[in-house]
Amino acid sequence: MKGIKTWIFLIMSFCIYQKGNSQTVNWNALEDSKHIIAAGIGWDYSVSYSLGYAYQLKTKVPIVLTGNFSIPSGEKLLDDFKTKIGGQVVLLNKSNMKGSIALNGIYRRYENPLVRLQNFGSELRGTLGYYKPKWFVAGEVGFDKAIVTYFKHSETFKEIIFTDVKDGWYEPSTGGNFLYGIQTGYSFNKSDITLNIGMVTTQDFKTTPLIPYYLMLGYNFIIN
């Protein structure tokens, strides 16, 4: 039974680890604006779409609270999706050099004819780069961890694979994923066009996901 669960999660982890992107912000264009509406299209195992919102707190150092919802393309859009809630804080706040850390809680859902997975996880990401009012470029590193997953098996699974399989919560044995890449963008008229691109590897550095890279093209609309 344990071996079956491990095998299933190894396969499904390629799907539930939708990488997506944290809120990509040009800190030197944001200024005192409070609201950011973000939309994006990217590639992580398939074409995916995201919609997000961010709110900048009135603090001495820039802090942004964020929420994001993403789905892959497909016929049944709500079979698979990911939500993220968290925030970003700028720890290095020089004139043009900015370093920030983002922390997010994640809920993911994935379903196929054999099983439905509901997963809770977390993501930690750090960014360091050069920012101007009109453009920016930065490097990013992060870690995405699936903490616990609920398995709901279909009748097809029970008939074909394992009759006595039990539904319930399981801790994954596959650890998490590291990511590393770059983000860049161009800012104009209260808007940002952003690009995130990078690579992904598993926690043990011995295996890679089925598609070991991520790509996200985004648009931010900034409201005072």
Average the pLDDT over 109-137 and give the result: 93
- pLDDT recorded at residue 172: 65
What own/partner pairs with CB < 8 Å and gap ≥ 24 does 69-75 have?
70/18, 70/20, 70/40, 72/18, 72/44, 72/45, 72/46, 72/47, 72/48, 73/46, 73/47, 73/48, 73/49, 74/46
Q: Which of 66-80, 123-137, 160-174 has the highest mean pLDDT?
A: 123-137
Q: Give the 3-state DSSP-derived string for the chain, with helices as H, strands as E and coil as C.
A: CHHHHHHHHHHHHHHHCCCCCCCCCCHHHHCCCCEEEEEEEEECCCEEEEEEEEEECCCCCCEEEEEEEEEECCCCHHHCEEEEEEEEEEEEECCCEEEEEEEEEEEEEEECCCEEEEEEEEEEEEEEEEECCCEEEEEEEEEEEEEEEEEEECHHHHHHCCCCCCCEEECCCCCEEEEEEEEEEEEECCEEEEEEEEEEEECCCCCCCCCCEEEEEEEEEEEC
pLDDT category at 212 given cuts 50, 70, 90 is confident
pLDDT, tens only, 19-28: 555 689 999 9
- pLDDT recorded at residue 14: 45
pLDDT category at 80 given cuts 50, 70, 90 is confident
C-alpha 55/C-alpha 224 separation (Å) is 10
Q: Above pLDDT 90, what percent of the chain?
A: 53
- pLDDT recorded at residue 173: 56
- pLDDT recorded at residue 57: 97
Average pLDDT value for the chain: 86
For residue 33, the enclosing domain spans: 2-223
| CATH code of residue 52 | 2.40.160.20
Which pTM value belongs to this model?
A: 0.85
The total of structural domains in the chain comes to 1
Name the token pair of 140: 């990013």
b vs e for 115-150, b when ≥16 Cβ sit within 10 Å of the residue's Cβ? bebbbebbbbbebebebeeebbebebebebbbeebe
Least confident among 21-30, 49-58, 64-73:
21-30
C-alpha 158/C-alpha 63 separation (Å) is 48
Average the pLDDT over 146-163 and give the result: 87
